[in-house]
Amino acid sequence: MSEIDALLQENRKFAPSREFRREALVSDDSLYKSAAADPEAFWEKQAGELQWFEKWKSVCDWKAPHVKWFEGGTLNASVNCLDRHVTGARRNKAALIWEGEPGDRRTLTYWDLYVETQKFANALTKLGVKRGDRVAIYMPMIPETAIAMLACARIGAIHSVVFGGFSPESLRDRIEDAKAKVLITADGGYRRGTIVPLKRNADKALEGCPSIEHVVVVQRRPAAGGDEAFAEMRAGRDHWWHDVIRNEPAKCEPAKMKAEDVLYILYTSGTTGKPKGIVHTTGGYLTGAAATTKLVFDLKEDDVFWCTADVGWVTGHSYLVYGPLANGATCVMYEGAPDWPEKDRFWSICERYGVTILYTAPTAIRAFMKWGDQWPAKHDLSQLRLLGSVGEPINPEAWIWYQQKIGGGRCPIVDTWWQTETGAIVISPLPGVTETKPGSATMPLPGFSAALLDANAKEIKVGGGLLALTRPWPSIARTIWGDDARYVQTYFSKWPNRPDLYFPGDGAKRDEDGYYWILGRVDDVLNVAGHRIGTMEVESALVEHPAVAEAAVVGKSHELKGQALAAFVTLREGFQHSSDLRDELRDFVGEKIGAIAKPDDILFSADLPKTRSGKIMRRLLRDIAEGRAMGDTSTLADPNVVAALKEQYEGKE
């Protein structure tokens, strides 16, 4: 049985305000209708808003499960993000407003970014980097990270950004798989007041990476004070960034890249197997990222856009670098933690730079809820006009808090569903059109097509099932680097008779209005006494209780029910855990969803195991609940959280 029981009901609705709709880029449903009537014409128009050297000869060549977009066309991603903005009024417009965790600040205009990108592109060429070579980037959140990405794009090199929170082993695996020729890193980066020793980690990784010929190191830390501990430079291999660009000219002719040429490889993380190198191409990816940035965020010329994601993740690629810069936007970039030195760091940044669009993760929103309303209340957030959510389904109560406490009740929320492999947002409201429902990503955007299916590919109009994307889109991943068979098996084999159906691995439900509610990974759907229960719904019910800040629910074996629910819960400030509260929460879930969804176990915890991107590692919680040996913890922000949880769970009453 593949259908998922849709148990939790959410009936609140929020229509776009008359004021927002009046100024919105899209204010009626005509774009949906025209895109549905001719999707290729829609995407051709979006591609036409980019700058091309040669126009394409065909729009879409779809031979399931592989697709090619805009064949015959040539372009360059850095030209679209930089060159076309420096010939007019945007030349001296802020492109990146950057703040480091210690408080240091820099603003780079489009002209600054244009000059610095070309200098570094020339430096890479001098180090022997050629078109098609792979360049690994292992960096903190500093402007040089975006410059490195754009410089690779300028000369036709393929970049592979590895999140700066990853271990040396994780970095080594990714460098080895891509056979990267050059590594770009920094001596260190700041996180919660301490230095993350990136160069030291990189040196450990490179002990097993014969493909690396050169390492370029950004000096993030002051020159004085024991830098050698973090950046021991090996003669001949290692080079300081400031040295390699010092004498380079600020002119580098851009490579004319075919639309289907690879722009970057991004490795998915968080699983125990070999990382998957997701491949994105130049023309299709840039079309998808640029179009969705403009439409979903209702992007205007004077907006200040802050996507809080690290560039080590696809969200940072698409909505901090490529999408906004292709649109000529002003982007905020912040290096450190949201609670350093105080729990209002995000809100002070929003106030200081007049942020108008904020795009962040439900995990962060729930943390803000836990810390208390007083922190955002200290700051003037009246410049905000649009809020976004990304990374996982957002609980309705977190959605409401975000709307009221951060958006002042006036900001539309775009709850976006997509993934590394889609390259761009797929399901989301259009803020000037869509009536939103807390917790629902609403409907596919114009140009995209989704369906809810059962195991036999039969469509489910209302209820729970498996999410499928039924038509290709330009920014779809083309393959897994070096392993196309794995690509086909992972994404196009769920329904063997329908190789045209893309399966993202998520379950969802659809309501009577056609709105999609993402229930999370199918792996997280549990069979409890014959009922298929999505853990997301149980988590949302728990978070609705006034005492609960965050919850993660996993399954564990049960001799009678098959599977039982185990909940890991963190409380809001001012609440204390007790056996009475545990019973109250179980009953609360029973009232909201039904007795079948009551957790057998509830464990109170000060924190949950999360990656540095903020995703809860439910795989590790399942290990704890089942009493198994722990899986890989190298990608966690704080591995100590897991050890404490395991000890607490094994000693529970």
The single-letter DSSP state of residue 233 is P
Cα–Cα distance, 417 to 322 (Å, whole number): 18
Question: Higher-confidence residue: 212 or 552?
Answer: 212
pLDDT of residue 224: 47
The single-letter DSSP state of residue 565 is E
Distances (CA, A) of 258 to 75, 278, 311, 621: 7, 19, 24, 45
Rounded to a whole number, what is the distance in angstroms from the first to the last CA of the chain?
A: 35
Domain map of the chain by residue range? 532-650
Percent of the chain with pLDDT over 70: 94
Cα–Cα distance, 202 to 204 (Å, whole number): 5
Q: Which amino acid belongs to residue 548? A: V
Span of 133-147, 276-290, 613-627 with lowest mean pLDDT? 613-627
pLDDT tens readout for residues 97-111: 999 999 999 999 999
Question: Higher-confidence residue: 363 or 652?
Answer: 363
How large is the greatest C-alpha to C-alpha distance in the chain, in angstroms? 72
Cα–Cα distance, 320 to 310 (Å, whole number): 9
Cα–Cα distance, 605 to 496 (Å, whole number): 43
Other beta carbons less than 10 A from residue 78's beta carbon? 26
pLDDT of residue 253: 98
The whole model's pTM is what?
0.87
pLDDT of residue 573: 87
Any residues with CB less than 8 A from the CB of 397 and at least 6 apart, and which? 438, 540, 543, 544
Helix (H, G, I), strand (E, B) or coil at 148: helix
pLDDT band, residue 1 (cuts 50/70/90): very low
Span of 229-243, 501-515, 529-543 with lowest mean pLDDT? 529-543
pLDDT of residue 10: 81
pLDDT tens readout for residues 64-96: 999 999 999 999 999 999 999 999 889 999 999
CA 618 to chain centre: 17
Any residues with CB less than 8 A from the CB of 559 and at least 6 apart, and which? none
pLDDT band, residue 272 (cuts 50/70/90): very low
Q: What is the mean pLDDT of the chain?
A: 91
pLDDT tens readout for residues 435-475: 999 999 999 999 999 999 999 999 999 999 999 999 999 99
Please state the length of the chain. 653
Given a cut of 50, whether residue 271 has pLDDT beyond it is: no
pLDDT (average), residues 170-180: 94
CATH of 532-650, one of 3.30.300.30, 3.30.70.980, 3.60.15.10, 3.40.1280.10: 3.30.300.30
pLDDT tens readout for residues 10-65: 889 999 999 999 999 999 999 999 999 999 999 999 999 999 999 999 999 999 99
Question: Higher-confidence residue: 376 or 165?
Answer: 376
pLDDT tens readout for residues 117-147: 999 999 999 999 999 999 999 999 999 999 9
Q: Which two three-digit tokens encode residue 63?
A: 């031979």
pLDDT tens readout for residues 209-242: 999 999 999 999 875 455 555 778 999 999 999 9
Given a cut of 70, whether residue 160 has pLDDT beyond it is: yes
In contact, 451 and 466? CB cutoff 8 Å: no
Helix (H, G, I), strand (E, B) or coil at 465: strand
